[in-house]
Amino acid sequence: MSKSNNGLEFELLTERIFKAISGQHDDVSIRRNVSLQGIDGERQIDLLITSKFAGIEFRTIVECKDYNKKIDVKVIDGFHSVMQDVSAHKGVVVSRKGFSSTAIAKAKRLGISLFSAHQANSEKWELDLELPMLLTEARVASIVVNPTIKAKKGTIIKQSAINVINDVDLVASFIKNWNETPDFLDSHFIYQNDRVSLKVGSLKPPFYVRDSQGGPVEVTDYELIVDFDKRYYFSYIHDVTDSLLLKCHSGDDSTMILPSEVFSNYHQCLKLIDKSKISLPPNSLVKMALVKVKASGYSAT
């Protein structure tokens, strides 16, 4: 299949996006401009994605179409023929201009995934809608352990012992998870909540703290209450240099890929905004991100 300069450029863009998506999977291989032997002869494949599961190799072929109009159903028919000829397990067609309604319906029936690929800061950015990105910078402002203690008269419990339930320091445990676990409390949850009340899943009743002599004292219930200080940084995806978008036309999933500098240098890349001025349209495609500022030298209250 011969490629014009524009077609090659779009093919390279698509390759870049798929490699970014699959970058954390060691068992996935992506090759561009591959010749595969089919039943009816050699077939030129724009992108060949191979992966292994349970010792079996799965083959996905990707066709890139940099047309100046929507892809019609004839392209889907022709691509399906190629899939069958090379015994591909999965097929993907990527277009810059999208797909006709009949092409989408036919692809859905044949199990072919349809995407459009876009790069920000390009004269070929084709999306009408503005895609907002909201980054929440969150700091731990305070942590309070609030147990309900059932103690006998005269029992002495030190203030420092209040944080330790079932011999687990809840404050230290939270800070460790906050600092070291990437998916601990997601961006939507933190964005929506300035204060959270948590339970520690590993703790099972009966609960207890220890008195000044080291003996257990019954705790009927407890709360771990965390307050956050937050700042918000905003931009539109197409204003962030080298941002990529893979928009799905055969389902609801779309993938945004942002350069790493956005997260390491977000103070300069994004605009600080007051939360009261954030207005996101309902059901909009929004990239939510969270930067958890490490709680170093934190002392509990």
Q: Please check whether residue 219 is in contact with residue 159, taking contact to mean a CB–CB distance below 8 angstroms.
A: no
The DSSP bridge pattern shows strands 216-236 and 168-169 to be unpaired
> What is the chain's mean pLDDT, rounded?
85
Alpha-carbon distances, residue 163 vs 213, 221, 228, 231, 263 (angstroms): 16, 13, 19, 28, 33
Q: Considering just the CA atoms, what is the radius of gyration of the chain in Å?
A: 27
DSSP at 25: -
Q: Which amino acid is at 56?
A: I
State which residues of the chain have pLDDT below 50. Answer: 1-5, 129, 283, 299-301
Structure letter (DSSP) for residue 71: B
List, as one string, the DSSP characters of 200-231.
Answer: -TT--SSEEEE-TTS-EEEEEEEEEEEEEEEE
Give the side-chain half-sphere CA count within 13 A for 253. Answer: 3
pLDDT number for residue 1: 41
Residue 300 is predicted with a pLDDT of 47
Strand partners, 233: 135, 272
Rounded to two decimals, the pTM is 0.62
**Domains, the chain, ordered by start:** 5-119 (3.40.1350.10), 130-237+263-301 (no CATH)
CA distances for 137 relative to 264, 267, 279, angstroms: 12, 10, 18
